Chains A and B, each alone.
Chain A
Amino acid sequence: MSVVAVRHGAVTYGGRHVLRDVSFEVATGQVVAILGANGSGKSTLVRTILGLVPLAGGEIDLFGTPRARFRTWARIGYVPQRIGAGSGVPATVGEVVASGRLARRGIFRPARAADRDAVRAALEDVGLLDRINDPVTTLSGGQQQRTLIARALAGRPDLLVLDEPTAGVDAASQEAFAAVLGRFAERGGTILLVAHELGPLEPLIDKAVVVHDGRIAYEGRVPEPAGHHAAPGHDHVHPHAEPERPAICVAPTDRLPAN
């Protein structure tokens, strides 16, 4: 059975076609990476799958149920690109991760021992259990990202959806990330992630879907990096002089920080 199925999906934003005729599937237990340049529509694609962006045409099924009728959101663990607005009000790592239990326990039932255990287990998994009572603002960027993964894991989901989990994250945290995702996949979990550079995540990926200009340009094994992209430690700030293989080539702006 497919965990995510998109058929002829289309998204328009202010009259502009952001996604057109997108079809692909994520099977149970698969680790799928959506690749593409900034502005290619790859983030929009996962946000549409999650219901954060309205679908202008086509269909999306989650766990075999049309998205409009899908209610078992606890089966999905979402890891956004960065920690929420994070205003001045302090919140501990434990409090943020505990939000991940709400999909399971509902909003009226107070937290029980099982909820607290799940929070601790998730933090243990990402290696941040010793920071459970620290304010999230005292964590490094990579540690904050791991907090968000722990929040998603705390709900014991079947599918993890990650939006650029390694963007702007230090190398040590990227390795920690890959290890956490590897363990999740080993337990039979399904992963759908958006990235423009896989780094240490690459060995985990079963299937790559490359989005270019709102369409799926490639679907299959992770494409081999070509030209300058193959060089270790390269950063994509150089303009691409010669056209490289369009399915893999990403626009020169894709290394600009997101903010």
Chain B
Amino acid sequence: MDLFQYDFMIRALVGALIIGLTAPALGIYLVQRRLSLIGDGIGHVALTGVGVGLLLQQSPVLTAVIVSVVGAIGVELVRERGRTSGDLALALLFYGGIAGGVVLVGLSDSNSGNLVQYLFGSLITTTRADVIVIAVLGVAVLVAMLALRPALFAVCNDEEYAKVSGLPVRTLNLLLAVTTAVTVTIAMRTVGLLLVSALMVVPVAAAQQVTRGFRTTMAVAMLIGVVAAAAGVTVSGEVDTPPGATIVILAIAVFLAITVGSTVWRVVRQRMNLDGNHQHAEPSDVVLQAGAR
């Protein structure tokens, strides 16, 4: 049986592949600055945007983009101030977002099955217009994340140093906030608002088990993301499971496989060094001294 003879499967696959590349490319910066859960929060806020769209009978993707961008900028402004009350402000924003969304969707004519599609993604809901929006916005986010990598790396790695370097730190932070909101929204059709954050974080977590540098971590994370997305959509179509959850479970499986694999590899290599020749102990000493010069 060839699933991809259906147009909706092609559309779902294209959407998932773009998200699979884009989400980790953005997520690596969020992980680096310890904001791994921010995508989840923005997803909550985006639901209010979906509710507004359904209520006004406008495109939910469009209204979700607008509402989540506003929410993300608000989050960034709270973070920038660095107040301890910021934590509570974020909680209020996120729960307000999801509660508002549920109420607004309830007020609109659409049924509750519709809500579940936005929360967890669906293969059959991606329209032709959605694919175009996903492709245009996804490529824009991807280009920004790749082209501005040195600057974004500097800001996420050491914000004060970036300021003293004269970088436009605030603009770059707002760019990250806006692109997070955009990525969450374009992922909502396939992966769903509650699971998109996983696709930003899990591939990065998996990649960094085996990588040594930032650039390689980014490349490996994007590879894991796109493979998990492609495999997830295929499996989801074959065995009729929700696509978002399937993609995320596959990504987590990759994470576990890499973690176990790299641990076993380290242990084996240690054993081989111990069993083999003992002269390895000497060079490591020399390296230490050379390093301490």
Contact assessment for B32 and A89 in the assembled complex, using a CB-CB cutoff below 8 Å: yes
CA of A226 to CA of B23, assembled, Å: 60
Please give the distance in Å from B29's CB to the nearest CB on chain A: 9
Contact assessment for A143 and B150 in the assembled complex, using a CB-CB cutoff below 8 Å: no
CB-CB < 8 A to A71: which residues of B?
166
Contact assessment for A151 and B161 in the assembled complex, using a CB-CB cutoff below 8 Å: yes
CA of A176 to CA of B292, assembled, Å: 9
Please give the distance in Å from B284's CB to the nearest CB on chain A: 13
Contact assessment for B214 and A90 in the assembled complex, using a CB-CB cutoff below 8 Å: yes
A-B contact pairs, 24 of them (CB 8 A): A76-B164, A78-B161, A78-B165, A83-B158, A85-B158, A87-B33, A89-B217, A90-B213, A90-B214, A91-B213, A92-B214, A94-B213, A95-B213, A95-B215, A96-B157, A99-B161, A102-B150, A107-B150, A107-B151, A108-B148, A111-B150, A127-B293, A128-B291, A172-B292
CB-CB < 8 A to A90: which residues of B?
208, 211-214, 217
Most buried by B among A50, A99, A135, A173: A99
B52 part of interface (Cβ distance < 8 Å): no
Q: Which of A9-37 contact B (CB under 8 A)?
A: none
CB < 8 Å: which of A99, A143, A172 contacts B165? A99
B168 part of interface (Cβ distance < 8 Å): yes
User: On chain A, which size bracket covers the interface?
Assistant: 35 or more
B34 part of interface (Cβ distance < 8 Å): yes
Please give the distance in Å from B258's CB to the nearest CB on chain A: 14
CB-CB < 8 A to B157: which residues of A?
84-86, 91, 96, 99
CB-CB < 8 A to A95: which residues of B?
153, 213-215
Please give the distance in Å from B209's CB to the nearest CB on chain A: 10
Contact assessment for B164 and A52 in the assembled complex, using a CB-CB cutoff below 8 Å: yes
The interface bits of chain A over 35-79 (1 if a CB of B lies within 8 angstroms of the residue's CB, else 0) are 000000000000000111000000000000000000111101010
Q: Which of B124-161 contact A (CB under 8 A)?
A: 147-148, 150-151, 153-154, 157-161
B170 part of interface (Cβ distance < 8 Å): no
CB < 8 Å: which of B148, B205, B212 contacts A88? B205
Contact assessment for A108 and B147 in the assembled complex, using a CB-CB cutoff below 8 Å: yes
B167 part of interface (Cβ distance < 8 Å): yes
CA of A155 to CA of B32, assembled, Å: 23
Contact assessment for A74 and B166 in the assembled complex, using a CB-CB cutoff below 8 Å: yes
The interface bits of chain B over 180-215 (1 if a CB of A lies within 8 angstroms of the residue's CB, else 0) are 000000000000000000000000110010011111
CB-CB < 8 A to A142: which residues of B?
292
Most buried by B among A52, A86, A95, A151: A95
Inter-chain residue pair count (beta carbon < 8 A): 117
User: On chain B, which size bracket covers the interface?
Assistant: 35 or more
CB-CB < 8 A to A100: which residues of B?
165
A130 part of interface (Cβ distance < 8 Å): yes
CB-CB < 8 A to B212: which residues of A?
90, 92, 133-135
Q: Closest residue of chain B to A76, judged by CB?
A: B164
CA of A74 to CA of B167, assembled, Å: 10
Contact assessment for B151 and A87 in the assembled complex, using a CB-CB cutoff below 8 Å: no
A253 part of interface (Cβ distance < 8 Å): no
Contact assessment for A89 and B214 in the assembled complex, using a CB-CB cutoff below 8 Å: yes
CB-CB < 8 A to B77: which residues of A?
none
A103 part of interface (Cβ distance < 8 Å): yes
CB-CB < 8 A to B92: which residues of A?
none
Q: Closest residue of chain A to B32, judged by CB?
A: A89
CA of A124 to CA of B63, assembled, Å: 53
Please give the distance in Å from B266's CB to the nearest CB on chain A: 14
CB < 8 Å: which of A72, A73, A85, A102 contacts B154? A102
CB-CB < 8 A to B34: which residues of A?
85, 87
CA of A115 to CA of B293, assembled, Å: 25
Known: A99-B150, A102-B151. A91 touches B214 (CB 8 A): yes
CB-CB < 8 A to B150: which residues of A?
98-99, 102, 107, 111
CA of A73 to CA of B167, assembled, Å: 9
CB-CB < 8 A to A111: which residues of B?
150
CB < 8 Å: which of B33, B148, B160, B291 contacts A107? B148
Contact assessment for A170 and B292 in the assembled complex, using a CB-CB cutoff below 8 Å: yes
CB-CB < 8 A to B31: which residues of A?
87-89
Known: A92-B213, A172-B292. A99 touches B164 (CB 8 A): no
